[in-house]
Each structure stands twice: as C-alpha cells, then as structure tokens.
Structure 1
Amino acid sequence: MISDIHVGRTYPPTAPYLVSAAKVAEFAAALGDADNPACAGPDAVAPPTFAAVLSSAAWGAMFDDPELELSLSSTVHTDQRFSWSRPLRVGDAVTATLTIDRVRARGTSAFISITVTLDADGERVCDAASTLLHSWPEEKVA
C-alpha cells in the first residue's frame, strides 16, 4: 500500500503525444474559447489547461504499480497547479513523467501529492502538480 517510502518514486515518461492544431481547436471549443485566435491555425498555442490532458496520461503508471494498491475509481483529484516555462505549441512532441512528491496516509485514506513534468522535444515546458485523495475499504487497511 502507498506510504511515505514511495516519496521520490518516478515513473518512465509516457510515449510522445504530438500536439495537433485539431486537438488544440477541439479543446478550446470545449472551453468555450473557439474564437480565440491564439488557439487556431498551424501556429496555435494550447490553452493552459490542456496540460491536464497530457499530465493525466502519466497517472496510468502510478495506478498500474501493484505495490501502491491504488484504484482510479477510489481517487478524487483535489487540487491542480501548473508552473509554465513556455506555452504548448502545435507540433510539440510532449512526454509526461510522474513523480510522487508526498504521501500522507491516515486510516483508510491517503493524500498523494504528485508532479508531472511535461517535456517537449527535450525542453521542460510545464510542471503539473496535483493532490489526489485515495480511499481504501476498511477491511483493506485493517
């Protein structure tokens, strides 16, 4: 089960995700920002929250780690912060690398702080920091 001994654990980067003009436009439209010229065309930049889509792809490695005994269906995403070096641009090939920063386990629950680093073609673009709340059935921790 996840505990403070897992702090510092880093998972391999995801496969590269190619940021496309179509996906940026689709995401901007979902946000109600379809008319924003910055999000259109071959030189578009992605809305800042597009990073959440890419960073959540890295969560799979953590949830697939059998030692942690985590389940996405028992997890609530409680907090999200982004620290940007530059915007995501159409044409970026982005990888996401997840690191466990902090674990606070109490009884049947644990707060798990993670950072997902987004790199585009070897350049750090964004750190997406999240706090997750995970709960286990009482019989699991007894």
Structure 2
Amino acid sequence: MISETHVGRSYPPSAPYLVSAAKVAEFAAALGDAGNPAYAGPDAVAPPTFAVLLSSAAWQAMFDDPELELSLSSTVHTDQRFTWHRPLRVGDAVTATLTIDRVRARGNSAFISLTVALDADGERVCEAASTLLHSWPEGKAA
C-alpha cells in the first residue's frame, strides 16, 4: 500500500505522444475555445490544460504499480498546477515521467502529491503537479 516510503519513486517515461493539429483543435473545441486562432492550423499551440491529457498517460504507470494498491475509481483529483517552460506545439513528440513527491496517509485515505515532467524531443516543456486523494474500503488503513 502506498506510504511515505514511496516518495521519490519515478516511473519510466510514457510512449511519445505526437501533438497533432486535429487533437489540439478537438481539445480547444471541448474547452469552448474553438475560435481561438492560436489553437488552429499547422503552427498551432495547445491550450495549457492539454498537459492533463499527456499527464494521464504517466498516471497509469502509478495505478498499475501493484505495490501501491491504488485504483483510479477510488481517487479524486484535488489540485493541479502547471509550470510552463514553453507552449506545446503541433509536431511535438511528448513523453511524460511521473514522480511521487509526497504521501500523507491517514486512516483509510492518502493524499498523494506527484509531478509529471513533460519533455518534447529532449527539452523540458512543462511540469504538471497534482494532488490526488485516494481512499480504501473501511477497515483497510493506509
């Protein structure tokens, strides 16, 4: 089960995700910002929250770690912050690497702070920091 001993654990980078004009346009439309010219065409940049899509690929490695006993269905995403070094651009091949930064376990719940580093072609583009709240069934202490 996840505990303070897992702080610092990192997982291998995700497979590269190629940022395409179609996916950027689709994401912008879902945000209600389809008319923004920054998000259109072959030289488009991605909306800042597009990083969540890329980060979720890295989250899967953590949820697949049997030692942690985590389940996405028992998890609430409580906080999200981004530190940008440059915008994501159409054509970027982005990998996502997750590191567990902090674990605060109390009773049958744990707050898990993590950072996902997003790199494109060897260049750091963004760090996406999240806090998750995970709960286990009553009687199973974290």
Length-normalised TM-score, structure 1: 0.98
| Alpha-carbon offset, residue 114 of structure 1 | 0.3
CA contact (8 A) 2:106 2:141 kept: no
Residue 66 of structure 2: aligned partner: 66
Deviations along 1:34-67, one digit per CA (max 9) or x if unpaired, are: 1100000000000000000000110010000010
Give the residue type in structure 1 aligned to 2:14: T
Contact 2:109/2:141 (<8 A) preserved: no
Q: Percent identity?
A: 88
Structure 2 counterpart of 1:49, one-letter code: T
Distance between the aligned counterparts of 2:141 and 2:109, measured in 1?
9
**CA drift at 1:141:** 2.4
The residue correspondences of 1:49-88 to structure 2 (distance < 5 A) are 49-88=49-88
| CA distances 1:103-127 after superposition (whole Å, capped 9, x unpaired) | 0000000000000000000100000
1:17 corresponding residue in structure 2: 17
Runs of 5+ consecutive residues of structure 2 not aligned to the other structure: none
1:134 aligns with 2:124: no
Structure 1 outlier segments of 4+, above 3 Å: none
In structure 1, stretches of 5+ residues that fail to align are none
Q: How many residues align?
A: 142
- TM-score (norm. length: structure 2): 0.98
Counterpart AA for 2:91: G
Q: Matched residues in 2 for 1:36 and 1:60: separation?
A: 31
Letter in 2 for 1:135: S
Amino acid at match of 1:17: Y
CA–CA distance in structure 2, aligned partners of residues 102 and 94 of structure 1: 25
